[in-house]
Amino acid sequence: MKRLVILSLLLWMCAVFYVGIYLFVGGFLLVRLEVNRTSTCEDVLLPAGEQGDFCPAKPRFRRAVLLIIDALRFDFARFDHANTAPRPYENKLPVFEETVSSQPSHSRLYPFRADPPTTTMQRIKGFTTGSLPTFIDVGNNFASSAILEDNLIHQLGQLGKRVVFMGDDTWESLFPKKFYRSLPFPSFNVKDLHTVDNGILQHLYSTVVGDDWDVLVAHFLGVDHCGHRFGPDHPAMADKLTQMDGVIRSVMERLQNDTLLVVMGDHGMTDTGDHGGESQKETDAALFLYSPSPLFSGPPSKSEPQVVPQTDLVPTLALQLGVPIPYSSVGQVLLPLFPPHGQMKGALEGLSQVEALWINVKQVNRFLETYSSMAKDIPPESLSKLQEQFSHVSTEYLTAVKNGLSPSPELVVSLQSYLTSVRETCRATWARFNPLKMAAGLAILLFACVLCFILSELSCLLVRESSLLKAPVVAALSIGFCVAAGQLFARGYVEVAWCLAATAIVSELLVLWRVHRVKASTALGNGAKAPKRAGWLSLHRLVTPALLVLLLRGASLLSDSYVIAEGRVVTFLIFSLGLYVPIHLNWDGLLLPANHDPLKPVGLLPAPALSPSAIRKESCTLLACLGLLVGSLYLSLSFHNCREEQGSCQPSPFLFPLSRLQNSQLKNLHYILSLASIGLWTYLLRRWLRHYGNLNSSGGAVFTARWILPLLSICLGLNWAVGATPEDSFRSMAELLSVAQVALPRTIFSLLGLGMLLLWLDPITVFLKTRASAPARSSNLPPPRYRASTGISTQAELHHLIPQIYQRMRRNLEEDDEPGEGAEADGRPAVEAYGLGTVYSAPQLLFCGLLGMGLLLLHAEGMALSFLLLLLEMGALLHIHASSTTLSSLHGTHYGGFNVPWTPVVLWSLAATQFFHATGHLPTFPSIQWGAAFVGFPGGHTGTILPASLVTLNTFSSHILFAVGCPLLLFWPLVCEVRGNRRVGGEDGEDAVMEMRLRENPQQFSSALLQLSTRYLFIHGTQVFASVCAAAILRRHLMVWKVFAPKLMFEASGFLVTSVFLLIGITLVMRVDVAVGGWFKRLIPEASR
């Protein structure tokens, strides 16, 4: 086998795709420009500016308490007296309604709207800087870095305010060394409901009554973690909200008159407890404002805002506490907290509404001028309109002040309108694109797809060229270094993206030229002229149903409706393409035995390769597997999740862990189904291995199948039982259960590692034994007939022996059931080898089985049934492909050795996407199952690499399993071949059977493996290219950040994962091939003695 050639071509192909994705994403998802300037009290805000605009001599409040209840959705905070049967999240915070009703001048409750992405880090950034996030910020939520933009925490510290923090440790990474005192607690373990909250409560009340602080920030996480673990509709949520109600009451009792209390949620949550997207339930949090002294000029009026944007909190708090508004804030002061002009008496001191708005307007205008001079991305017409609007309100305000007139209500409206216009303009333009990088990425991806297709179609020629990549890669790297040197000389720095772009494009063009030369030289070497249009690019080869489905799916990515409904559409495409297989066979007259005309002479009829009964049996197998495929597709729809856009859709109950289920009977039913599924998974794998004789030897792979596979299923079942046990049950065994939550998953991880290591070190599953007939059991046995002649090389001897030894074994196995015929008539020994016919597929299938169990561990228990359906669908697709190949080969319509046609490869890739949805995943950030990061690590992690890896494995489980199992498409027709249908001839009229055909034809084996791999890469590469095109074309579309950009990120990530695990699967095939070669070499001396 041409191992080095195959691996080098695949690695280069993947690298080119990676560069194209990196370039496009780098041009499409740029973070907006941050203005690294800071406001100070000495700033002069024009027009008519004077020092002290920002910092009045006496702020209205000396101190402030910020209680942040993570994921406090607005409807959690409302109280409905008419609701006599509240759900667990309803009517549990009566403190808000009671306070607003009894003290309307002291308190308000508002909906507090967040800007997406609704993840904690971005929300903290939003309500401390007053700036708007960008799409790419969502990727930083779990790798938080310090905020460099001007922010409230910095401004408070700059004026000597003592800021005390306690709670979510995300604040520590965002504001390092900014707090007077800090008590951070680990936040990443979403299964831990109490550690952070209890840690805060140990210090909160004593701090509030003390006098060593000016601003106190306490960030509670219990509500958010309860949502992630159980969802909002769970008794645990009621307990947590009730606890928060008591906390708020206790803090209010301890406040002094000069203190402002702010209780707020950073975001909301969906009905499943997730967040990150932009649905109303995710963006609408609660904001409660309270002070023991009068805070508002009167009861709520009709003019008060219906919704408060989170960015508005920044200028409001800044002016209330007497600190400068952060430089980059685009928020608008919350007017009800400032008294109307002429009503500033008694407790309602400080700035009036118009004065606060005027300072706010001048600050926002200063930022707009600075930003527009640096970034140049705000449309000139929009900028001109805003400048004109500012000039108008400035003139009107200054005229009123100069003449001593009271500001008119129209002026207040004009000031508010200007602030709103600036925010909306920034929101619309802060998606900066780099068209040049995007175009370069598109070009590289397009060439990569073309080259991938060419490699797949010309694999039989290119696999012979050991130096195909050498010159192009060396030349491309040289060009890349030249570009880097030119950048360094001209600019003084190197931009890696353009060096990679130059290297990738040059290598693609040079490889394309080399392929053309190889094709031309091959044609001339065969004595033929180069054709005008290559046969492999003919129309009938390109316009096939499988490729048309691929094209249709790629074009559909331009539709947001398709992306939203992709799970069901892909299911339909698999069904349609699967149904095409028997229809096509029947159209060609291959599905049923031919009915010959009895009037024709018998001698003129071609001899059938198989009997009519064998053909009928093969056709029945195909149709039965098609039925199994349809059944699996239908049942898999029961495991889908729901997008926000799908309205009344209800997510599958199997998506949630058993600990969320409150009905004990339903919980037991789900547990039994999960146990049955994992038991059937293990049984089917072992049954297949036993059927083909792969469980008889004593090697590492067989040990894994015999012992480690069942142990894994037992440990999985025990782990599910421990995870489903309620926390308040078995209190005497609480410590044991907590230990089991760590020990069982880690035991599974260890067993998986051991099994994969044994499989890699000893992948051979062949059991060999020699037996002799009764009359011939003596030491004077003649040598076997298949002994090679002496004096030939080892390679030649091996090539000569492999088919004969195997055929000898096979014939004896076939004759094993006939008494007296187990040994040869002349008394020579007979050799039996169990599992040799599936020597390649057995390790591959076992590896998939092990990997599937490990990936199932990272999912909810109910997903065991979905994983079983995945295994059944895999088997159905493989058998449909095998039967189709067998029936096609009977009449010579199956082209080319071991080559796998496009149809099964496209079906295989579609199944990967289909089970991405059927395991509860969606191309949206709220659907990411973050709980996978804590499987085996309930105490959290010290870094981000391990949790990110676990979440990635969870998200792309289906991509991983189908990528690793892709080589099975090559092996399965050989495994399931029908006796008598032997296309490759051997010596002495004996043919190699099953997977020994591959050993007998290493050139065809290498070609078929390269073709299969490149076809699979091509399919996923075209999906990425289609997503990239959709994002580029629709970059100004209304749904780009909600639908198309997340889809692009998931497609690109899926391609990365798929390509890596495809390489792992191909490498395993090569490892088995090496082991098989070593096994035959060890067999030669024994056969020669």
628's CB contacts (< 8 A; 6+ apart) are 872, 873, 875, 876
Would you state the pLDDT for residue 442? 96
Stretch 298-310: mean pLDDT, rounded? 86
Q: Which residue has the higher pLDDT, 101 or 348?
A: 101
- For the cut 80, the answer to whether the pLDDT of residue 478 exceeds it is yes
Stretch 144-149: mean pLDDT, rounded? 74
Would you state the pLDDT for residue 680? 96
Stretch 70-82: mean pLDDT, rounded? 93
Q: Which pLDDT tens digit goes with each residue over 228-237?
A: 888 898 899 9
Of 362, 349, 350, which is closest to residue 398 (Cα–Cα)? 362
- For the cut 80, the answer to whether the pLDDT of residue 428 exceeds it is no
Q: Which residue has the higher pLDDT, 785 or 671?
A: 671
Would you state the pLDDT for residue 9? 94
| 1 and 1075 Cβ atoms separated by less than 8 Å | no
- For the cut 50, the answer to whether the pLDDT of residue 849 exceeds it is yes
Stretch 917-930: mean pLDDT, rounded? 89
Coil, strand or helix: which one is 521?
helix
Q: Which pLDDT tens digit goes with each residue over 1010-1045?
A: 999 999 999 999 999 999 999 999 876 767 778 888
Stretch 968-988: mean pLDDT, rounded? 65
- For the cut 70, the answer to whether the pLDDT of residue 922 exceeds it is yes
- For the cut 90, the answer to whether the pLDDT of residue 962 exceeds it is yes
- For the cut 70, the answer to whether the pLDDT of residue 952 exceeds it is yes
Would you state the pLDDT for residue 535? 57
Stretch 152-162: mean pLDDT, rounded? 92
- For the cut 60, the answer to whether the pLDDT of residue 931 exceeds it is yes
Would you state the pLDDT for residue 344? 56
Tokens of 552: 């249709």
Would you state the pLDDT for residue 954? 95
- For the cut 60, the answer to whether the pLDDT of residue 794 exceeds it is no
Would you state the pLDDT for residue 539? 62
- For the cut 80, the answer to whether the pLDDT of residue 802 exceeds it is no
- Residue 73 is given by DSSP the state B
Q: Which pLDDT tens digit goes with each residue over 307-320?
A: 999 999 999 999 99
| 556 and 495 Cβ atoms separated by less than 8 Å | no
Separation between Cα atoms, residue 1031 and residue 1039, nearest integer Å = 10
Tokens of 309: 């944007």
Would you state the pLDDT for residue 874? 96
- For the cut 80, the answer to whether the pLDDT of residue 391 exceeds it is yes
Q: Which pLDDT tens digit goes with each residue over 325-343?
A: 999 999 999 999 988 876 6
Q: In the chain, what percentage of residues exceed pLDDT 90?
A: 49
Separation between Cα atoms, residue 76 and residue 284, nearest integer Å = 11
Would you state the pLDDT for residue 342? 64
Paired sense of beta strands 63-69 and 259-264, if any: parallel
| 217 and 200 Cβ atoms separated by less than 8 Å | no
Strand partners, 73: 285
Would you state the pLDDT for residue 445? 96
Instruction: Read off the pTM.
Output: 0.80
Would you state the pLDDT for residue 126? 86
Would you state the pLDDT for residue 124? 87
Separation between Cα atoms, residue 823 and residue 812, nearest integer Å = 7
Q: Which residue has the tokens 């997903």?
A: 863
**Lowest mean per-residue pLDDT among 276-290, 792-806, 956-970:** 792-806
Q: Which pLDDT tens digit goes with each residue over 1042-1084?
A: 888 889 999 999 999 999 999 999 999 999 999 998 888 887 6
Burial class from Cβ neighbours inside 10 Å (0-12, 13-18, 19+) for residue 84 reads exposed
Q: Which pLDDT tens digit goes with each residue over 758-784?
A: 999 999 988 876 654 444 444 444 433
Question: pLDDT-derived band of residue 121, with 50, 70 and 90 as boundaries?
Answer: confident
Question: pLDDT-derived band of residue 26, with 50, 70 and 90 as boundaries?
Answer: confident
| Amino acid letter, 47 | P
Would you state the pLDDT for residue 784? 39
For residue 593, what are the CA distances in angstroms to 406, 590, 613, 887, 1031?
98, 7, 8, 10, 51
Question: pLDDT-derived band of residue 57, with 50, 70 and 90 as boundaries?
Answer: low
Would you state the pLDDT for residue 645? 78
- For the cut 50, the answer to whether the pLDDT of residue 831 exceeds it is yes
Give the CA count within 13 Å in the CB-facing half-sphere of 1037.
16
201's CB contacts (< 8 A; 6+ apart) are 247
Stretch 187-211: mean pLDDT, rounded? 88
- For the cut 60, the answer to whether the pLDDT of residue 749 exceeds it is yes
| 544 and 902 Cβ atoms separated by less than 8 Å | yes
- For the cut 70, the answer to whether the pLDDT of residue 432 exceeds it is no
Burial class from Cβ neighbours inside 10 Å (0-12, 13-18, 19+) for residue 450 reads middle
Report H helices in 989-1044: 996-1000, 1002-1033
Q: Which residue has the higher pLDDT, 193 or 603?
A: 193
- For the cut 50, the answer to whether the pLDDT of residue 818 exceeds it is no
Tokens of 1067: 């490498």
For 717, other C-beta atoms within 10 Å of its C-beta total: 18
Stretch 173-183: mean pLDDT, rounded? 90
Q: Which residue has the higher pLDDT, 616 or 265?
A: 265
Quote the mean pLDDT of the chain.
Answer: 84
At residue 210, φ and ψ (nearest 5 deg) are -75, 180
- For the cut 90, the answer to whether the pLDDT of residue 43 exceeds it is no
For residue 498, what are the CA distances in angstroms to 19, 503, 738?
10, 8, 51
